[in-house]
Every structure is written in structure tokens, then in C-alpha cells.
Structure 1
Amino acid sequence: MTIGLSRVAGAEEDISLDELRLAARNHGLPLEALRYDVTPEGLHYLLIHYDIPHVDADAWRLDVLGRRYSLDDLRALPAVTARVTLECAGNGRAKLHPRPVSQPWLDEAVGCAEWTGTPLAPLLADLPPDAVDVVFTGADHGVDRGVEQDYQRALPVAEALREDVLLVYAMNGRPLPPQHGYPLRLVVPGWYGMAHVKWLCSVTAQDHRFEGFQQAVAYRIKQEADEDGVPVTRILPKALLAPPGFPDFMTRRRFVRAGPVLLHGRAWCGFAPIAHVEVGVDGGWQEAKLDPPTDPHAWRRFEHVWDATPGDHELSVRATDAEGRTQPVDQPWNRQGMANNMAQRVPVTVRP
């Protein structure tokens, strides 16, 4: 089996039609929707690797270690609703130079929904004692870099047995929409979106590390094509400003009136709670006010009042978690464009 290499755009290479097709098919969160504590399902970011599969929920069954469950069986189990922030591992990729050629995300591949389902761990009670990885297979099927495959990801046993890992059948109080994994998806709080397998069909265990394409080839942080790289796992700290004022149609540059301007946004992290957020104005940083936390894995609102003076300015924002991880001002490059969390920059013109 020959696996094609991930590609990096040439120095003067424009966005391709293939990338534009991906951008049209998938979508990010409109950043003004950061105003919502819970992201409406139609505004939540979306990435579909292949096609949205047609699943007959009446005939569908989930196979867990050889035992089959209907959707009604799963709904009859103890239910949990959790507010969880999801972010695509490739968020920010399109801003890298040179540009990794894939879904061209800027900053918007994020959302925070309320997910309802049943904990996975009780269904893994018969996990073999020598199990190393738990493998999750979705119904979506396609070709990536020449390899035909079902979408599959794995978690180490310790992660799969966490009490907050859910088999989810509802989003914001309604059945999962088709594009978000109906009838069932996995939600792994704290991990980037590639781990949250949609259209879930089976859960198996194996006594060695899973080496499927989406685990061992994709979603790796590396510099060179032939490196093994480091696997992408938990979400690095990140903050985003809701766009202040009003925009220019083409450039999305912001315009505000001079005087006090309330800046606000959201911050999140999959490693540790957010400890503080700083807002930058033309390179100078000031502490923002954080709202009290809600759910452990939900994003956290912050705000800061900016005394805006006439002229052109650059706003920025960065978050730090409770273990000391801070967003970089400049993003270190990696070949697949993964786990980007550099401080957001927002150009603003202040009018008198």
C-alpha cells in the first residue's frame, strides 16, 4: 500500500479549487456567534471528512466489544448532558507560511454545544485485561492520500474509561443533526475534534497501539513528510475576540467609533482550566475580566473595555491555562497545520 504525502503549497501558490471545495462544504463559526454561551447547532463549526452517510436509525446498531445496542437501548441507559467545546485540530492552518494544503481554516473552527448521551465506560466493563487501545469506527467511508478507509480513531484505555467520555445522541436538546453524526457520535471532552468520531458504528479493543490512517498518518505534528511526528491529542489554550463594531464586506476589517468599546470573547483549553486572558492593543497587553466558569469543558467568557482612539489599530488576545501554557504570539510551523493556537489579531479602524 502506497500512502501519498501531505502537501505544502509553494511560496506563491494560491488557494486551489480543491481547497475551496472543502471550504464550501465545511464551515466555521461566525465569530459574532461567540456571544452565545451555547452555540446554536447551525452555527457550530463543521468538518466532514467524506460524505454524510445515510443511516437508518431503526436498523442501526452500535457494536461494543461484540454486544449490539439499538438507539433505544442507549437512550434507556443513564443520561448525561455536558457543555463541551470542540475545536478542529487544523484550526488556523490557512494562516501558516508555507500553507499546508488541506481544509483552509482561519480561526473559526470551534463551537460549544450541549451534548446528551450515556457514558461509554460502563459499556466497556468487559474490556480485555490486555487491552491497549479502544478503536472507534464511523460509517463515513472514503479515500485519503490514496488509502480507502472507514473513518477510525482510537483512544488509550485510560482515556476511553474516563467518566466524561460520552456516546452522544442529542445536541442542544434535539436529536443529532445528520451532519453532526446522527444517530450517534463520540464526545471526548478536552480533545481536538478528530477524536469525536461521528456516525459511530463500532467500538473494539486491541492489545497493541492502533495504526490506522487517521491515527498514525494524519493528525501528527511534524516538520518533514517522512517523520513519524507527535500525535495530536488535547486542545491547547486559545482565546478569540468577538468582532467589535461593524465589518468591511470583503476584508472583514472592523470599524468602531471612538470612546469606550466593550471587547468580549471566549477562551478554552483541553489540558487545564483557563487561568487568565490578556487583550492586546498595538502590542501592549492588559488583563481581561473572566466570567465565572460553567461546565468544566465549556469555553469561558471574558471582557475588556478599550478606550478607542481614532486611527488604525491591531487588537489581539491570548489565554493562559492553570498549568502555565500560554498562546504564542507567532505560530510555530508544522507540516500538517495542526494544533495552531497563536494569538488572534484583529485589525480595527476607529472613526471619530
Structure 2
Amino acid sequence: MSEKTPSGDPTAPDAFLTPVEHVFVRSHLGAPPELDASAWTLTVEGLVDRPLRLDLPALRALTQTRLTAVHECFGNPFRPDVPTRAVANLDWSGVTLSTVLDLAGPRPDARHVWFEGADTGTFAGESEVTYLKDLPLAQARAEVLLAHTMNGEPLLPRHGFPVRAVAPRMFGTNSVKWLTRIVLAADRPDHMFTTRFYTRTLPGESEPGPVREIDVNSKLLTPGDGRRVRAGACELAGRAWSFTEVVAVEIAVDDGPWQPAVLEPRGPHPTWQRFALPYDLAPGPHRIRSRATDTVGRVQPPTGARNAVHEIEVVAS
């Protein structure tokens, strides 16, 4: 799994929309495929009454929708409990999956949607692997966007040009890049990236399930981790996000108590939320932690999980 986080201004992630040049890049199967927008097509097949093949002009001629949503990488599938917090907040434009499915006419026995990208390669010792993910039809139809722009500009090759799926409120592994094929089926596909990797057993459950809904999480962004800052009054701030709305964020400094931060509401779109706490930092080294709680009562665990309490270290002088 190739991982890359573009370098640049470390304060950029604290903007409401993440600049494209600061958006993380993940690729399981090597370099992005070289796709020609004029030759690209998207097929919709399987359990549909009217199989489709749409080119880019035909897709763009359909009703367009904008969506702002948090976009988070689940992390390395070989190390699923290691926190990464590779996250961005992005404005997407494209066509809802439901619009395309209405044209194709799903049959009554269709229960799942498969999304396949154009990228192929070697992964986990297997060659000629394609990237394939699936979602329940009802959930996909209600939420998935077939996006061709990010933050108002055409997708870059590394981000899925010319069209990618965007599954809001779900981990990025479900938002298939370089999308070329959609299949409606009665069952889930038995595939490396659907049933072998990206599965986990959630608390209270006995069987593993697919990685889909994002966890409750937070990330301290100001001051930056490892920074030397001026002692005295400062602002401790960052972003929090979840599958549902975050309702509280608390911050602790050193061994002090958890203190409630001021949290911005999420609004109508599934975006991240800014939190901040004014604080008077004494001279010396400090450990600063943040934890978020969402509307269904999920709280970031203290340790041992991919969404464990976020912690940074700074030195005030």
C-alpha cells in the first residue's frame, strides 16, 4: 500500500476546506492508471433492466450535485489498529448514484452495489488485482456521489480522475477512485478488498464486518505537534468528526482534568467540526490531548485503537 501525504504549510489542515495540495494520497496498486477523459466510460450492469455505458459528457449532462464531506483514510489494512488520522474536508461535485441507477432500473433482487476502479496491480502477493468495493444498495443509493471535481477543480489523477465514487460518512476505502464499472448484484463480492482486508469486529459484535462507518475522532492542529510555542495565553484547537455529528470535545493538558472545548456545529453536510479552548500555557514541556463524543454516545478510547485519544507534545518558552 503506497502512502503519501503532500508536504506544505502545516496550518493548512485547519482550514475548513483542505487545499487539494494537502490532501493525503493512498494507492493500493501502484501508480494511478493513465486514463483519457475523452475515452473514459462508466458501465452500469448486472441486475438492471437497462444496462448503461456513460461517457464523461453524458455524465456531466445529468443533474449535478455538490457535497462537502470529511474524507478519512482507515489506515493500513495490515495494521488496522494503528492511528493515522489522515483526514481532509472537501467540496465534491458530480452526479448522485441514485440519478444513474434510476436510468438503469435496478431489479427487485438487487441488494448490493459493486464499485470497480481502473487500477490493477499486485497486492499481498497476488497479481492482476483490481480494486473493488461494495455497499448495500439502499445505503449507496441514498448517499454515494459520482464525483468529477474536488474543491471546484477537475480531479487530479492521484485523486481519481476523471470520476470517483464518494461515500460520505464512510472511510475512504469505500470511495473508489478511477471508477469505470458499477455492478448491481444479489450478493456481496468475494474479493480481497471486500472480505479479506478492510474488515473488523466492532465492540459488542461477535463477527467481523466490512469497514464502512467512520469512527468518532479528533485531531489537535494548533499548536502543531513538536512545536516550540510562546508561554502564556494561547488557543488549543483542532477538528473533530464522526459518522454522525460530534456533540462534545474535551481537552486535557498534562495530568490536568478534561475541559470542554467550544465546538462548532456540523451543519447540513457531513463535515468535520472545529473545536477550540483558550489556555494559559506555563513555560516548559506539555502533553496535550483531545477526545470527542458523538450523538450516539461513542467516545474516543484512551489507547489501543485507530481512533484513540489524540496527543501532541509542545514546549512553551
**TM-score of the aligned structures, taking structure 2 as reference length:** 0.89
Q: Does 1:119 align with 2:85?
A: no
Residue aligning to 2:265:
292
Aligned to 2:298: 325
Hey, what does 1:279 align to over in structure 2? Answer: 251
For residues 154-212 of structure 1, the C-alpha deviation after alignment (integer angstroms, 9 at most, x for no partner) is 111111111x3100000111111111100000001000000000000010111112211
State the Cα distance separating 1:122 from its structure 2 match. Answer: 2.2
Counting only pairs closer than 5 Å after superposition, residues 167-206 of structure 1 correspond to structure 2 as: 167-206=146-185
Are residues 29 and 228 of structure 1, via their aligned partners in 2, closer, same or farther at CA, if it must alter by over 3 Å? farther
Relative to structure 1, the CA distance from residue 46 to residue 347 in structure 2 (aligned partners, 3 Å threshold; closer, same or farther) is same
Pick the aligned partner of 1:140 from 113, 119, 126: 119
CA–CA separation in structure 2 for the residues paired with 1:318 and 1:109 = 17
State how far apart, in whole Å, the 2-side matches of 1:55 and 1:112 are: 26
Residues of 2 paired with 1:105 and 1:342: CA distance?
9
Q: 2:109 aligns with which of 109, 120, 130?
A: 130
- Return the alpha-carbon distance in structure 2 between the equivalents of residues 28 and 282 of structure 1: 31
Q: Distance in 2 between matches of 1:29 and 1:189?
A: 25
Tell me, yes or no, if structure 1 residue 341 matches structure 2 residue 307. Answer: yes
Aligned to 1:72: 57
| Count of residue pairs the alignment pairs up | 303
Query: Does the 8 Å CA contact 1:278/1:286 hold for their aligned counterparts?
Result: yes
The 5 A counterparts of 1:1-352 are: 22-23=2-3, 26-27=4-5, 32-50=11-29, 51-65=31-45, 66-90=51-75, 100=78, 107-125=84-102, 126-147=105-126, 148-162=128-142, 164-221=143-200, 229-244=208-223, 253-270=226-243, 272-283=244-255, 284-332=257-305, 340-351=306-317
**1:239 Cα deviation from its structure 2 partner:** 0.8
Instruction: Say whether the 8 Å CA contact 1:255–1:349 is kept in structure 2.
Output: yes
Query: How far apart in 2 are the matches of 1:328 and 1:274?
Result: 15
Question: Could you tell me how far apart the structure 1 residues matched to 2:210 and 2:96 are?
Answer: 25
Could you tell me whether the CA contact under 8 Å between 1:118 and 1:168 is conserved in 2? yes
Q: Is the CA contact 2:290–2:310 (under 8 Å) kept in the aligned structure 1?
A: yes
The answer to whether the Cα contact below 8 Å between 1:29 and 1:110 also exists between their aligned partners in 2 is no
**Equivalent AA in structure 2 for residue 231 of structure 1:** P
Identity over aligned pairs, percent? 35
Deviation at 1:293, TM superposition (A): 2.5
CA distance in structure 2 between the aligned counterparts of 1:187 and 1:114, rounded to whole angstroms: 11
Q: Which amino acid aligns with 2:307?
A: N
The question of whether the paired residues in 2 share the 8 Å contact of 1:29 and 1:44 is answered with: no
On the 8 A contact 1:243/1:254 being kept in 2, the answer is no
Tell me the secondary structure at the aligned position of residue 85 of structure 1: strand
- CA shift at 1:300, angstroms? 0.7
Unpaired runs of at least 5, structure 2: 46-50
SS at match of 2:11: helix
Q: What's 1:7 paired with?
A: none
Equivalence for 1:13: none
Contact 2:83 2:307 in 1 (8 A): no
In 2, distance between residues paired with 1:115 and 1:29? Answer: 22
TM-score w.r.t. length of structure 1: 0.81
The unaligned stretches of length 5 or more in structure 1 are 1-18, 94-99, 246-251, 333-339
Give the equivalent residue in structure 1 for 2:48.
none
